[in-house]
Structure 1
Amino acid sequence: MNNQPIGFLDSGVGGLTVVKESLKQLPNETVYYVGDTKRCPYGSRPVEEIREFTWEMVEFLVKKGVKMIVIACNTATAVTLEEIKKTLKIPVIGVIIPGSIAALRVTQTQRIGVIGTEGTIHSGQYPKAILSKYKNANVFGLACPKFVPLVESGEYRSEKAREVVEETLKEMTEHNIDTLVMGCTHYPLLKPLIQDAMGESVTLVNPGSETVSEASMLLDYYEIPAEQNTDQMQHRFYTTGEVETFREISSSWLPLDDIHIEHIDLG
C-alpha cells in the first residue's frame, strides 16, 4: 500500500476531466493536479516550449512526492511521454494510447475521427497508435484550435461555443465516421455540443476514462494502491493562472465540496 498522491498535469483545466474519472474509479487515491493555465494553450506552441513547460510541471510534481504521473494533456503526451517515462523511476502514462484502444473497441466501420489541438493533430500520434493496432482503419484528424480557449474562459456552455463547435466540425461530418476521439482533455467539457454537431450516430470517445483504467492496472502491478478510507487524503490543485477562474470551472465539474487550490509560478 502507498498513500502518496498521484500527479496529474495539463496545459490548463482540461485535465480535470481525467481527474473526474480518477475520483470515480480510484476513490481511495489522493490527487495532486497542476494546470499551466497562464501559458495555455500548448497546441500552437513550438515543440521545444511544450517539452520545457511539461518538464517544469513534472519536476514540480516529483518534488511533491507523487508515486505516479498522468500526463492528462494530449499535446504534452505526444511530445514528451516517452522521454519522461525513460527518465523517471515512477510510472508515467499518457492519454493517446488508451484513447486509441477505446476507439478501436467501439467502432463498427473502422472509420475513426480524431479532434485535437494543432500540436496533437500535426504530431500524427493518434493515427500511428490506431494503425499500429489495426492497419485497415481509416483515421481522419482535425485540429480545433478555438475549442481550448472556450473552455479556459468558462464559455463552454455558451451560444458562442455552440456556434464555434458546429462551424469547426462541419469538415469532420463529411468523412462518414462512426467514432470520434476527443483528443484533447478540454473537449469533454464541450461534449454535449460536439455530440449535437456530429449527430447521435457517432460515438464519442473520452480518452480520460481509459487512461484512468490503465492507471488503476499499473497501481496494482507495482503494488502501490492507497489504503482504503485513509484519513490523510487531501486533494491539491495548483494553477499558474488565476485561482478564481480555476475554482469556478473545477467546482462546476468535480464532485468535491472543498477544493484546495494554490497559485504557483513555474520556470
Structure 2
Amino acid sequence: MIGIFDSGVGGLTVVKEIKLLLPEVPIVYFGDTARLPYGNKSRETVRSYSSEIVDFLKKKGCKTIVIACNSASALAADWLREKYPELKIYDVVSSGAEAVAEVTRNKKVGVIGTAATINSSVYKKKIADIDPKIEVFTKACPLFVHLVEENWIRRPETKKIARTYLRELKLKKIDTLLLGCTHYPLLEKIISGIMGRRTRVIASGKKLSQELKKNIPGKKGIEDEYFVSDLTEHFEKLARKILGKNVKIEKVVL
C-alpha cells in the first residue's frame, strides 16, 4: 500500500500518474488542505506537518510513502528518511531532476515552484549531481497554488499572472521547463502555450510512477482511500477533474 501526501489537491496529479501504471496497487492519499500552502512555511514547520502525516499513513498500513509536494520534498525528504528508516520514501524533487536531465538537449532547463522549493536550491543541486553541464534557471511562482486551489484555472487573470512569471525564463532559451510543484500540471496548457513549442513542459509524476512500478507489486482487493484536513467543495470538484471520477473523501484531524 502506498501513502501519498501533499499540502492540497496538487498531489492528486501524482496519484493519477501512479494509478495509470499501477492500477492494482492501493493508495492512501492525504491532502493537508487546512494548512496549505507549504511553500511559505519554515523548514521546521514543514517537517512537523510532514511527520504528522507520515505517522497517519503508517497507521493506515502504508510501508511506501510518496511525498507528492515539492516544498515538503525539498525541506523534509531526507529528514523523513532518517526518522523513518523502516519506510521506503520517494519524493517528487528527485524524480523531477532525473526527468529534466533525460529530456534536455541544449542543457538549459527551467524550474518553477513555490518560494520554499526555489529558495532551497534543491533542484539546482540534484540536477548538478546528475549532469553538472546543465544550466538551471529557476523562478518562484507562489500565486499558482492559490489559483489552482481556488479553481481559477480558466480565468484570464491566471494567464496574465503566468505571463509575468514566465517572462524571464523565456529569455533564457530553455528547451525544458519542469513544473516543480504538483499543483502546476493543472496549469500546464496555459504554461505550455506561453513557453511555446520549442520548450518541453514536464512534471515529475510520470517519472516517479515509473520508479514505483519497478519496485512495488500489485495487490488486488483493497480500496483506495482519500483524506484531507479540511474538506471543501473546491477540493471535491478539482479531485473529480483530476482523477476523472468521483471518489469518497474524508476529513480527519491529525
Q: Tell whether the structures are fold-level matches, with TM greater than 0.5.
A: yes
Residue number in structure 2 paired with 1:235: 224
The offset of 1:242, in angstroms, is 2.5
Q: Distance in 1 between matches of 2:82 and 2:44?
A: 18
The offset of 1:234, in angstroms, is 1.2
Residues 231 and 250 of structure 2 are in contact (CA less than 8 Å); yes or no, is this contact kept in structure 1?
A: no
1:179 and 2:171 are equivalent in the alignment = no
Q: Provide Cα deviations, 1:100-147, integer angstroms capped at 9, x if missing partner.
A: 111011111000100000000011110101111111110001000110
Residue number in structure 2 paired with 1:222: none
1:198 maps to which of 195, 199, 219: 195
Residue number in structure 2 paired with 1:131: 128
Q: Segments of 4+ in structure 1 off by > 4 A?
A: none
Residue number in structure 1 paired with 2:76: 80
1:146 maps to which of 113, 126, 143: 143
Name stretches of at least 5 consecutive residues in structure 2 with no aligned partner: none
Residues 68 and 91 of structure 2 are in contact (CA less than 8 Å); yes or no, is this contact kept in structure 1?
A: yes
- Letter of the structure 1 residue corresponding to residue 224 of structure 2: H
- Letter of the structure 2 residue corresponding to residue 226 of structure 1: G
- Letter of the structure 1 residue corresponding to residue 132 of structure 2: K
Residues 91 and 218 of structure 1 are in contact (CA less than 8 Å); yes or no, is this contact kept in structure 2?
A: no
The offset of 1:22, in angstroms, is 0.9
The offset of 1:60, in angstroms, is 0.8
The offset of 1:98, in angstroms, is 1.1
Residue number in structure 1 paired with 2:249: 261
2:8 maps to which of 12, 21, 24: 12
Residues 20 and 255 of structure 1 are in contact (CA less than 8 Å); yes or no, is this contact kept in structure 2?
A: no
Residues 11 and 41 of structure 1 are in contact (CA less than 8 Å); yes or no, is this contact kept in structure 2?
A: yes
- Letter of the structure 2 residue corresponding to residue 154 of structure 1: N
2:218 maps to which of 213, 226, 229: 226
Matched residue SS, 1:65: coil
Residues 243 and 262 of structure 1 are in contact (CA less than 8 Å); yes or no, is this contact kept in structure 2?
A: no
User: What is the Cα-based RMSD across aligned positions, in Å?
Assistant: 1.1
Report % sequence identity: 38
2:27 maps to which of 25, 31, 36: 31
Residues 145 and 183 of structure 2 are in contact (CA less than 8 Å); yes or no, is this contact kept in structure 1?
A: yes
Name stretches of at least 5 consecutive residues in structure 1 with no aligned partner: 220-224
Matched residue SS, 1:180: strand
1:94 and 2:91 are equivalent in the alignment = yes
Q: Distance in 1 between matches of 2:26 and 2:244?
A: 14
TM, length-normalised to structure 1: 0.92
Residue number in structure 2 paired with 1:66: 62
Residues 22 and 218 of structure 2 are in contact (CA less than 8 Å); yes or no, is this contact kept in structure 1?
A: no
- Letter of the structure 2 residue corresponding to residue 105 of structure 1: E
- Letter of the structure 1 residue corresponding to residue 195 of structure 2: M
How many correspondences in the alignment? 253
- Letter of the structure 1 residue corresponding to residue 230 of structure 2: G
Matched residue SS, 1:181: strand
1:115 and 2:98 are equivalent in the alignment = no
Matched residue SS, 1:37: coil
